[in-house]
Amino acid sequence: MSSSEGAPESWISSFCSLMGHEFFAEVSEDFIEDDFNLTGLQSQVPMYKEALEMILDVEPEEDEDEDEEEEEEEDEDELLGDEKLPGYRRAGDRRHTRVASDLSVIESSAELLYGLIHQRYITSRPGIQQMLEKYEMQHFGVCPRVYCNGCKVLPVGRSDTPGQETVKLFCPSCQDLYTPPNSRFHSVDGAFFGTTFGCLFFMTFPDLDIGPRLDSSLVSPARSSTVNNQVSPDVPPAHQPVEINGVRTANFCPGLGLGKIYESRIYGFRVSERSRTGPRMKWLRMKPTDVEELNEMARYEAARREADNDGDTEMGAAPAGGAQNSAIAKRKKAPMRRRRYNPDQMSINGAEAG
Amino acid sequence: MMEDFNSETDSDYTSYWRDWFISSRGNEYFCEIDEEYLTDRFNLTGLNTEVPYYQYALDLVTDVFDLDADDDLREQIEKSARHLYGLVHARYIVTTRGLTKMVDKYKKGDFGKCPRVMCEGQPLLPMGQHDIPNMSTVRLYCPKCEDLYNPKSSRHASIDGAYFGASFPSMLFQVYPGLVPEKSTSRYEPRIYGFKVHAAAALARWQDQYREDMKSRLRDAGMEVNSQGCIIGKRGQ
């Protein structure tokens, strides 16, 4: 468990090589030693100092200035019993006598502290780079969804607070979250990866190819040909933008859209939408064939221009100041338009946040 | 020879080969095909051209195999028997009796649970993307998100999808519409430091609009629709 008695391996690398800890990156000691990176963690982790010492493989006696605070606790500890863990005897030879239970508390505190530091580290420049290497080596596995064609996934959390949910896997191809297939990850806290990491990672490396790794037409020739027949009138227009809403079009949800959606069929016939058991969830895997449809600003402006031309002919001849005013008005109107655009939107967001 | 077995009922006849087959590791997705179904030639129409050593394989599956074959031949017949069983299985599980057996397995969660976090452990159903063998391996259908997933265990990943067929899950829910799980509109919202990410949020808005369009199409057709887009009745009757 503890390698604080000068084992060749550091605590960090032995922690990361534990079964179930394969997703963790090894946080560099430089990062941990910078107090700024640890801001606020002291209040979240019990026995913070000892935990930090354990992570950094520092012998407790080296920190002279902490001795005073510690003495009080340890006096009590000594009363509880004199069981000493053999590995810790060297430190305990002096006043630092610890009972085994105490050590296991520190051990679990160290794991919690390491996890919380890890959450911050993987969004830092060296950390995200380290995770990129692990990602490219497929350390985190692939998306279980058939139409994602084995897209590599990333470990993320659904909460930044520890003890809430276990680690999940984020697939950039379908923008969805999956439970790791191996049960050994079902005890790893999701907060140790955090909510920010998944998306930040793909924004940091926008050119990372997340497209299909296997040619889907090779995998299922029959299916893709039938799909193509239906889809042919909906082939995207030739002039697709290189980038849409800050994401490269080629990397924008390549696993979604027509042809990447399961169609319920019986003996080759599609089940009608009007059937009680017909398809209801197509929206979840849908993407516009023409990604320009997602450029809400452009669409709004086009719609506005049309409205202006209908009602107000003077607008065309308005001076430059008019354009500025309209830009301001547009910004003011934007939230209103969204609310009108989808009445259910607000309630859905509210329900999820709660 | 066949008539003898037709007259026997399933309960007093021990099916050695099929028992062994469905209880062997990796074959957890299969259910046991009735003796009656297997011995009705009509149900096997066309399979004799698909399966080598067809007659021997059928004899093996129905436990009447008594050929003195060398190991090599036996191995081939054994392989054919597994293939034959799989192909008959795809036909059997869309029959009334087959569906009941598969529904029981579905309720027990024998086919695993949906890996998608928002589906909250919804039980899955096995299916193939093709009805022709050797095209693709078995997939798992989640009736909650209506999507297909690969089995997480490698021992299931090599099973031919044609042994379950492309119609099976849809057929099951046509016959048992009450088993269709409640759908959910919750989805994962990628966030950076608490802020929604524009590209994902714009797509989510578009998808929500797509769902609303479907709902209004159904309403126009006189259906009563709940907020998830599921039909709960007919209007104006």
Three-state SS at A20: coil
For B:148-207, CB contacts with A below 8 A are 148-150, 152, 166-167, 169-171, 173-174, 177, 180, 183, 185-194, 197-200, 202-203, 205-207
Contact call for A296 and B191, based on CB within 8 A: no
Q: List CB contacts (< 8 A) between B148 and chain A.
A: 145-147, 262
Which among A262, A268, A294 is the nearest to B147, CB-wise? A262
The whole-angstrom separation of Cα B174 and Cα A222 is 25
- Measured N-to-C along each axis, helices A48-55 and A100-121 cross at an angle, to the nearest 10 degrees, of 70
Distance from CA of A9 to the nearest CA of B (A): 33
CB pairs A-B closer than 8 Å: 172
Cα separation of B233 and B51, whole Å? Answer: 47
Note the pLDDT tens digit of each residue in A12-51: 999 999 999 999 999 999 999 999 999 999 999 999 999 9
Distance from CA of B64 to the nearest CA of A (A): 33
User: Counting runs of H as helices and runs of E as strands, what totals does chain A give?
Assistant: 13, 7
Q: Report the C-alpha gap between A111 and A117 in whole angstroms.
A: 10
Residue A1 within any structural domain of the chain: no
Q: Structural domain of residue A162, as residue ranges?
A: 123-202
How far, in Å, CA of A100 to CA of A123, rounded?
35
Residues A141 and A180: beta-carbon distance below 8 Å: yes
CA distance A40 to chain B (A): 16
Q: Is the pLDDT of residue B10 over 70?
A: no
Read off φ and ψ for residue A111, nearest 5 degrees.
Answer: -65, -40
Minimal Cα–Cα distance from B36 to chain A, Å? 24
| Contact status, residue B29 vs residue B156, Cβ threshold 8 Å | yes
Q: Is A257 left (phi over 0), alpha (psi -120 to 50) or beta?
A: left
Percent of chain A exceeding pLDDT 90 equals 52
pLDDT at B4 over 60: no
* Residue B16 pLDDT greater than 50, yes or no: yes
Q: Decide if A283 and B214 are in contact by the 8 Å CB cutoff.
A: yes
CATH number at A38 reads 1.10.1820.10
Any domain includes A86? no
Q: Are residues A42 and A133 in the same domain?
A: no
- The verdict on A51 and A151 lying in the same domain is no
Residues A110 and A150 in one domain: no
Residues in chain B: 237
Distance CA B57, CA B65 (A): 8
Rounded to whole angstroms, what are the CA distances from B168 to A20, A320, B96, B105, B179? 37, 64, 12, 14, 14
- A306 — pLDDT class (breaks 50, 70, 90): confident
A110 with A131, same domain: the answer is no
- Placement of tokens 């967001």 in the chain: A349
- Domain boundary pick from A170, A202, A234: A202
- Chain A contacts of B141, Cβ < 8 Å? 262
- The count of structural domains within chain A is 2
pLDDT digits (tens, 9 = 90+) for B77-106: 999 999 999 999 999 999 999 999 999 999
Residue of A nearest to B212 (CA): A342
Please name the residue that has the structure tokens 């550091």: A10
Query: Do A51 and A27 share a structural domain?
Result: yes
Alpha-carbon distance of B9 to B15, in angstroms, equals 11
Structure tokens at A93: 């030879």
Which residue among A202, A224, A258 closes a domain?
A202
Q: Which of A146, A195, A275 lies closest to B148 in CB terms?
A: A146
Instruction: Identify which of B147, B158, B136, B146 has the alpha carbon closest to the alpha carbon of residue B82.
Output: B158
| pLDDT confidence bin for A111, thresholds 50/70/90 | very high
**Terminal alpha carbon distance of chain A:** 39
Is the minimum CB–CB distance between B229 and chain A shorter than 8 Å?
yes
Closest chain A CA to residue B149: A145
- Rounded mean pLDDT of B141-155? 95
Distance between first and last Cα of chain B:
58
The pTM (predicted TM-score) of the whole model is 0.79
Question: Looking at the structure, do residues A14 and A117 belong to the same domain, yes or no?
Answer: yes
A273/B141 Cβ within 8 A: no
Indicate the residue among A184, A202, A220 that finishes a domain.
Answer: A202
Is the pLDDT confidence value at B8 over 70?
Answer: no
Residues 58-117 of B with CB under 8 A from A: 115-117
pLDDT of residue A106: 92
Q: What is the DSSP letter of A64?
A: G
Q: Are strands A168-171 and A176-178 parallel, antiparallel or unpaired?
A: antiparallel
- Asked if the structure places residue A168 within a domain, the reply is yes
- A197 lies in some domain: yes
A35 located within any domain: yes
Q: By the 8 A CB rule, do A146 and B150 touch?
A: yes
All CATH 2.20.25.20 domain ranges in chain B, comma separated = 17-179
- Which of chain B's residues have a Cβ under 8 Å away from the Cβ of A267? 167
**Alpha carbon distance A346, A210 (integer Å):** 31
Interface test with B, best of A120, A122, A146 (most B CBs within 10 A): A146
Q: Looking at A189-193, A275-279, A340-344, B32-36, which range is the least confident one?
A: A340-344
Question: Could you tell me if A22 and A109 lie in one domain?
Answer: yes
**CATH code that applies to domain B17-179:** 2.20.25.20
Q: Is residue A14 in a domain? A: yes
Give the side-chain half-sphere CA count within 13 A for A344: 19
Residue identified by tokens 């008539």 is B3
Predicted local distance difference test score (pLDDT) of residue A171: 96
**Nearest CB partner across the interface for B166, out of A147, A265, A286:** A265
C-beta of residue B32 within 8 angstroms of C-beta of residue B22: yes
Task: Name the strand (E) or helix (H) holding A154.
Answer: strand A154-156
Confidence of residue B189 (pLDDT cuts 50, 70, 90): very high
Question: B180 and A277 in contact by Cβ < 8 A?
Answer: yes
Output the CA–CA distances (angstroms, integers) from residue B109 to A5, B39, B69, B138, B158, in the order listed.
Answer: 48, 30, 40, 16, 20
A183-226 pLDDT, tens digit each: 999 999 999 999 999 999 999 999 888 876 554 444 443 444 44
What is the value of ipTM here, to two decimals? 0.88
Does residue A39 form part of some domain? yes
Q: How far is CA A300 from CA A236, A248, A296, A327, B233, in A?
A: 21, 22, 6, 12, 36
Distance in Å, alpha carbon of A55 to nearest chain B alpha carbon: 26
Rounded distance between C-alpha atoms, residue A245 and residue B16, angstroms: 61
Separation of alpha carbons A176 and B119, rounded Å:
11
**Minimum-distance CB partner of A352 among B141, B150, B189:** B189
Are A128 and A181 contained in the same domain?
yes
The answer to whether residue B168 scores a pLDDT higher than 90 is: yes
